[in-house]
Amino acid sequence: MNEQRLRELLESVRTGSQTVEQAVSRLRSLPFEDLGFAKVDHHRAIRCGHPEVIYCAGKSVEHVAGIFERCAAGGGNVIATRADADVFQAVAARCPGAEYHAIPRAITLRQRPSVPCSGTIAVISAGTSDLPVAEEARVTAEVMDQKTATFYDVGVAGIHRLLAHAEAIQSASVAVVVAGMEGALASVVGGLVDCPVIAVPTSVGYGASFQGLAALLAMLNSCASGVTVVNIDNGFGAGYTAALINRRFSRPPP
């Protein structure tokens, strides 16, 4: 149950269109619903501004579908990350409106109309191999009602490709920079913009990149001020954080 539905429930009790007993019956699943294999947190949207997100890796298909269905019953938007196509088929059988994003392997269900903030989140990737992580950030931010602009395959090996978009990137409220190999792109973008930069190291690269550790350390040691770093391949974490920043500091359009 999201905040809007909770307010409607309380109002129905106030006006007498619903009894206290009926309201209590509806509230029994709050603040969480115990499914036996999972405890679905229905209060997270009220506390944090966005419902619980389902991380699919390590869960069975049936468990993901069951959790997704109960999250959807609350009436809010739903997102599941790291989901394969067979997981989506099981989810879609229960929630026909669900959509599969193949590149980031994410499932989304939009049930509330989007009310985007005025600011824009720039999602920037160094190479095409970084797209799954960059797209995970984009999809996450957009299901949280944020506007995004993407600038892909603009890594430092051909820096003119990045500079061609400098004006558009500089107009963003938040920048998410996704890069593997040596991870230098985050520092370059950090030196061009006056907004927060969320750097995402990816596991893309040859042996000495150590599955993203080289990019992670480079980003942590960035000489550009305003660069913060999330974990390797954590596009979801970057998109979520960017959405929180943009939501707080960008007013919704009139």
Question: Which residues of the chain fall short of a pLDDT of 70?
Answer: 1-5, 24-30, 33-34, 43, 46, 48, 250-254
pLDDT at position 246 is 92
CATH topology for 120-249 is: Rossmann fold (3.40.50)
What stretch(es) of the chain map to CATH 3.40.50.1970?
120-249
pLDDT at position 88 is 97
Q: Give me the DSSP letters along the chain.
A: --HHHHHHHHHHHHHTSS-HHHHHHHHTT-SEEE-SS-EEETTHHHHHSS---EE-TTS-HHHHHHHHHHHHTTTS-EEEES--HHHHHHHHHH-TT-EEETTTTEEEE--S-----SSEEEEEESSGGGHHHHHHHHHHHHHTT-EEEEE-S--GGGTHHHHTTHHHHHT-SEEEEEE-TT-THHHHHHTT-SS-EEEEE-S-S-GGGGGGHHHHHHHHT-SSTTEEE--TT-HHHHHHHHHHHHHHHSPPP-
**Residue 41 identity (one-letter amino acid):** D
Which residues neighbour 143 within 8 Å (Cβ) at sequence distance 6 or greater?
77, 79, 108, 110
Phi first, then psi, for residue 137 (nearest 5°) are -65, -45
Spatial distance between the Cα atoms of 60 and 184, rounded to a whole number of angstroms: 38
Spatial distance between the Cα atoms of 150 and 230, rounded to a whole number of angstroms: 19
pLDDT at position 33 is 67
Which residues neighbour 13 within 8 Å (Cβ) at sequence distance 6 or greater?
19, 20, 23
pLDDT at position 253 is 53
Spatial distance between the Cα atoms of 149 and 135, rounded to a whole number of angstroms: 11
pLDDT tens profile 88-124: 999 999 999 999 999 999 999 998 888 778 899 999 9
Residue 8, Cβ neighbours under 10 Å: how many? 13
pLDDT at position 99 is 94
pLDDT at position 29 is 54
pLDDT at position 117 is 80
pLDDT at position 73 is 83
pLDDT tens profile 199-228: 999 999 999 999 999 999 999 999 999 999
pLDDT at position 180 is 95
